[in-house]
Amino acid sequence: MTSPYLEKDYWDERYRKRGAERIGSASGTLAAGLGGGYNRYLYRLRRKAVEEVVADLNLRLPETSVLDIGCGTGYWSSFFREMRVAEYTGLDVSQVAVDAVSREYPEYTYRALDVGKPFDLKKTFGLINAFDVLYHITDDEKFELCLRNLSRHANPGGILLIADYFDDRQKISASHVRHRSYEFYERVLTEAGFEILALKPVFYYLSRAVGC
Ligand SMILES: C[S@@+](CC[C@H](N)C(=O)[O-])C[C@H]1O[C@@H](n2cnc3c(N)ncnc32)[C@H](O)[C@@H]1O
């Protein structure tokens, strides 16, 4: 019998074993086990897509407060520091990741919490970044609650950036991964009060757009 997916236990264990030493780097968080070169390339593709979105939306990062959901080992902390954002807060369910990333970026605020449960940071943000985290919230009710949480933490007119892989089969491909269809996302985002402004493929695989 396989054990149930408990986010905190799963991610703490994963970071304890092989993640936390890679703080701020792009060598291992996305596709653990597939090697540093492959991971660096995945991050490079995402970074390029983010830079394009920032330019398309004319986001002035030095005047923007950022909330980074599932900040992990801080690849995006490092990116946003380079972009000189006005303020940065990172959230992650893993205390191991939060402890490590807090040491690396003492100027930023980090909190260990599950974004699929109610939380209140008592402030709102101009940009919320949810990169490669929402498909790790495998329970649909928690997923919907998470998007409502994010909506409550966005400034009026604030931007939510998501990186995910859409899959019409809405399948759980591993205990910690559940991909959802674009239509599912559209419904939940709209109900949470978001309007979809743009979709941008991060890359193409056999002519299929991936990671919008
Ligand atoms: C694939 S990693 C991506 C990390 C980072 N966003 C990046 O792009 O490098 C997924 C991260 O989401 C975090 N995570 C998973 N479920 C979460 C939840 N329910 N609440 C907060 N963080 C969560 C994990 O601990 C992990 O750090």
SS (H, E, C) the chain: CCCCCCHHHHHHHHHHHHHHHHCCCCCCCCCCCCCHHHHHHHHHHHHHHHHHHHHHCCCCHHHCEEEEECCCCCHHHHHHHHCCCCEEEEEECCHHHHHHHHHHCCCCEEEECCCCCCCCCCCCEEEEEEECCHHHCCCHHHHHHHHHHHHHCEEEEEEEEEECCCCCCCCEEECCEECCCHHHHHHHHHHCCCCCCCCCCCEEECCEEECC
For the chain, how many structural domains are there in total? 1
CA of residue 70 to ligand 1 center, whole Å: 3
Average pLDDT in the 75-86 region?
Answer: 96
Shortest-distance atom of ligand 1 to CA 74: 9
- Residue 1 within a domain: no
Query: What pLDDT, on a 0 to 100 scale, did the predictor assign at position 67?
Result: 98
Average pLDDT in the 132-159 region?
Answer: 97
* Ligand 1 pocket, Cβ-based, cut-off 6 angstroms: 7, 11, 29-30, 70-72, 75-76, 91-94, 97, 114-116, 131-133, 136-137
CA of residue 59 to ligand 1 center, whole Å: 24
CA of residue 38 to ligand 1 center, whole Å: 19
- Residue 55 within a domain: yes
CA of residue 69 to ligand 1 center, whole Å: 7
- Residue 69 within a domain: yes
Whether the per-residue pLDDT at 206 is higher than 60: the answer is no
Whether the per-residue pLDDT at 172 is higher than 80: the answer is no
| Highest mean pLDDT out of 2-6, 25-29, 89-93 | 89-93
CA of residue 8 to ligand 1 center, whole Å: 10
- Residue 2 within a domain: no
The protein residue whose alpha carbon is closest to atom 27 in ligand 1 is 72
Report pLDDT digits (tens) over 91-124.
999 999 999 999 999 999 999 999 999 999 999 9
Q: Which of 6, 11, 115 to mutate to test the pocket of ligand 1 (most atoms within 8 A of CB)?
A: 11
Whether the per-residue pLDDT at 38 is higher than 80: the answer is no
pLDDT interval class at 200 (50, 70, 90): confident
CATH, residue 117: 3.40.50.150
Report pLDDT digits (tens) over 146-165.
999 999 999 999 999 999 88
- What is the domain extent for residue 66? 7-210
